[in-house]
């Protein structure tokens, strides 16, 4: 497992954890759904085995995002996520001031 993949997985874990506890609003696209870190084990010169080495379990849901991805609260294309997040934050601030 490379460093970039490891960081990406940890990022998804943090987003998933915050979202299921109602502490974050997720904006963007559904993630790929790869929750279980794995290693590649060479079997022959042409064949490798991807072997899961861990399974994160969320204390609130009893599960994780494997196969389904982290679902956004505000689904938008990745290219539009920052603008959509800013709009949602401004709208929430205006609503709370009223």
Q: Give the pLDDT band of residue 3 (cuts 50, 70, 90).
A: very low
**CA–CA–CA angle 54, 10, 61 (5° rounding):** 65
Identify the pLDDT of residue 7. Answer: 44
- The answer to whether residues 57 and 16 touch, using CB atoms and an 8 Å cutoff, is no
Identify the pLDDT of residue 72. Answer: 92
Q: By percentage, how much of the chain surpasses pLDDT 90? A: 39
Q: Give the pLDDT band of residue 10 (cuts 50, 70, 90).
A: low
Average pLDDT of the chain, as a whole number? 85
What mean pLDDT comes out for the span 15-19?
A: 85
Pairing of strands 27-28, 48-52: unpaired
More confident residue, 11 or 52: 52
Q: How far apart are CA 91 and CA 77, in angstroms?
A: 20
Q: By percentage, how much of the chain surpasses pLDDT 70? A: 90
Mind listing the pLDDT tens digit for each residue in 42-72? 999 999 999 999 888 888 888 888 888 888 9
The number of C-alpha atoms within 13 Å of 63 and in the hemisphere containing its C-beta is 10
């Amino acid at each position: 497992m490379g460093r970039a993949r490891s960081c990406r997985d940890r990022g998804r874990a943090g987003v998933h954890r915050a979202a299921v506890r109602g502490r974050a609003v997720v904006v963007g696209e559904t993630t790929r759904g790869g929750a279980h870190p794995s290693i590649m084990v060479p079997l022959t010169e042409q064949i490798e085995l991807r072997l899961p080495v861990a399974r994160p379990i969320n204390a609130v849901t009893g599960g994780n995002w494997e196969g389904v991805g982290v679902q956004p609260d505000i689904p938008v294309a990745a290219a539009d996520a920052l603008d959509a997040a800013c709009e949602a934050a401004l709208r929430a601030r205006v609503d709370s001031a009223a």
